[in-house]
Amino acid sequence: MATKKPENLSFEQALDELSLIVTEMEQGELSLEQSLKQFERGIALAGASSSKLQQAEQKVAILMGSDSQSPLTNFDNDLE
């Protein structure tokens, strides 16, 4: 099965996979090479999740109208 790019996963899918990676690494049964590969994947998942969370926060702020002091920025609505 092909691994999806982190940016193509939903927020929940990324967090689930990140949780699995943490569990695997905590067990200490991975080789150094496997650990580095999983660490790299985990960093990518964390970055993608953070980006999606920031987009959601921005959308809520826009909808609530509570962030009138902030400069306007382009909103990328690719959360689906």
φ, ψ at 45 (rounded to 5°): -65, -45
Euclidean distance between CA atoms 25 and 71, whole angstroms: 41
4 vs 17, more confident: 17
Mean pLDDT across 33-45: 96
Report which of 60, 48, 58, 33 is spatially closest to residue 3, judged by C-alpha positions: 48
- Complete DSSP assignment for 40-71: HHHHHHHHHHHHHHHHHHHHHHHHHT--TTSP
Model confidence pTM above 0.95: no
In this predicted model, what pLDDT tens digit does every residue of 51-69 receive, in sequence order?
Answer: 999 999 888 888 877 655 6
Residue 11 near residue 45, CB atoms below 8 Å = no
Amino acid at position 15, single letter: L
